Amino acid sequence: MTAAMAVPDQMTAGTGQGAGAPVLEIDGLTVTLDQGRGRAPVPVLENLGVSVAAGRTVALVGESGCGKSMTALAIMGLLPEGFRIAGGHIRLAGEDITHAPGRRLRRLRGNAMSMIFQEPMTALNPVYTVGDQIGEALSLHQGLGRSEARARAIEMLRAVQIPAAESRVDNYPHQMSGGMRQRVMIAMALACRPKLLIADEPTTALDVTVQAQVFDLLKRLQAENDTAIVMITHDLAAVADMADEVAVLYAGRCIERGPVATMLERPGHPYTRGLIACVPHLKLGAAAAAEPEMLDDIPGLVPPLGQRAAACCFAPRCRHAALACTTRPQPPLEAVSAGSRHAVSCWRREEIGA
């Protein structure tokens, strides 16, 4: 690998010209699951590094079970019972919050950092109005009274383009469509103007028109508030539309990272290439009839926890795998060329590229 250079296992979005200090820095994050009964903990995330500056977006991409949502929960301090951070650091605006006490994290959540969850019907409380739920964070973190919090909730509903915000503020979640509930989640997450927003599959179960509206809304609000966004998705079209940088996760490891245009045009890892090959490209009329599209697929499944090899975890599913891929340790992330921000973790990267 003469052209490659070893790089730190960390990706930074917005570290180029004109970018400020990172809002979020994750360095060497390792999360494990305790198995109990004297058994060794199972690694869930291994040596993950991500960094994002104000006004920029990093997308975490991969199949279910790759570690995307676990990364978000680690950042927010919401890891389920049995999971723990075993190594690395998480810094928010320079403050190390890796092992911050619960009281400190509760002051940060919904204020300096917020999260949009996948399913608004399970994330929203069905017995409280949307206005009360938006206003709760404003009362808790900014000390607003009831009338002030209500006025600010109406303002946020207008900001996310919900019509008749003055009456909708008194609606319960079940009285709103899926698209409106998703907008309410965005309004809640951004009510206190957080420095960091984590969007976990923010358009799940929404039709394509509403998806486009939600992404446009996020970009507009990001521009207005200079918010740093970590977007978790398996939708590469959303990545192309929203992200500045991409990190591809597989079995809890980052196997490729870089600027979005580079990653989508010249993917270096076989897994990234497979994800892109699975995306259909629209053909209409005579073109569709003359040349029907055959979608590629990636055989097999992501290895479950406890069955992940020390070598390349993708090797059993990779059509390019060689002996070295199954006998050598997990390859390090290496820049594809000197000074490049595009890095790949693959023993056969140069051969496959050639």
User: What radius of gyration do the chain's Cα atoms show?
Assistant: 21
Q: What is the CATH number of domain 5-112+194-281+294-353?
A: 3.40.50.300
pTM above threshold 0.85: yes
Phi and psi of 254, rounded to 5°? -85, 120
Lowest average pLDDT, out of 65-69, 98-102, 230-234, 278-282, goes to 278-282
3-state SS, residue 143: coil
**Helices 178-190 and 130-142: angle between axes, nearest 10 degrees:** 10
pLDDT in tens, 149-167: 999 999 999 999 899 999 9
Smallest Cα–Cα separation from 312: which of 334, 333, 330, 332? 330
Give the C-alpha separation, 221 to 178, whole Å.
20
pLDDT in tens, 8-52: 455 555 544 345 689 999 999 999 999 888 889 999 999 999 999
Smallest Cα–Cα separation from 66: which of 320, 302, 340, 328? 302
- pLDDT score of 320 more than 70: yes
Give the C-alpha separation, 80 to 319, whole Å.
35
Domain boundaries, the chain: 5-112+194-281+294-353, 123-193
Mean pLDDT, residues 166-189: 93
Ramachandran region of residue 325, left (φ > 0), alpha (ψ -120 to 50) or beta?
A: alpha
pLDDT at position 329, please? 93
Residue 89's Cβ-side half-sphere holds a number of Cα atoms within 13 Å equal to: 11
Mean pLDDT, residues 188-207: 89
Report which secondary-structure segment, H or E, holds 218: helix 208-225
32 CB neighbour count, 10 Å cutoff: 20
Strands annotated E in 167-314:
196-200, 228-233, 245-250, 253-259
Asked if residue 331 lies in contact with residue 269, where contact means CB atoms within 8 angstroms, the answer is no
Give the C-alpha separation, 70 to 232, whole Å.
10
